[in-house]
Amino acid sequence: ELKVEQNPLFLSMQEGKNYTIYCNYSTTSDRLYWYRQDPGKSLESLFVLLSNGAVKQEGRLMASLDTKARLSTLHITAAVHDLSATYFCAVTKGGNYQLIWGAGTKLIIKP
């Protein structure tokens, strides 16, 4: 059974600092997604990662994928308050289109 674990589940940090969120999954996966969710809002797609060593960057966020370790990271550089949200990773496998989700990392960035 495909399972996804994120850590930390909660992170409070100061503006300007760097930090990394980790996403581990239990069995081979074809695709890994990162989504952002603001309180009371829906999910916004950030990245999709397909292959080992894939790296994608958008602004202060950079996501990477190590399929051998079954690990993805979401790195935040010089955090700003606007990045406060809950970040989810999700994976899917084969022809199965359902996404299996982590529990989310709630990120609070203090001015």
Choosing from 74, 79, 104, 107, the residue that interacts with another protein (CB under 8 A) is: 104
Q: Is 4 in the site for another protein (CB under 8 A)?
A: yes
Q: Is 42 in the site for another protein (CB under 8 A)?
A: yes
Sheet hosting strand 55-58, strand order edge to edge:
4-7, 19-25, 71-76, 61-66, 55-58
Contact 88/43 with Cβ under 8 angstroms?
yes
Q: Is 56 in the site for another protein (CB under 8 A)?
A: no
Q: Which residues contact another protein by CB under 8 A?
A: 4, 30-31, 33, 35, 41-45, 48, 50, 88, 90, 96-104
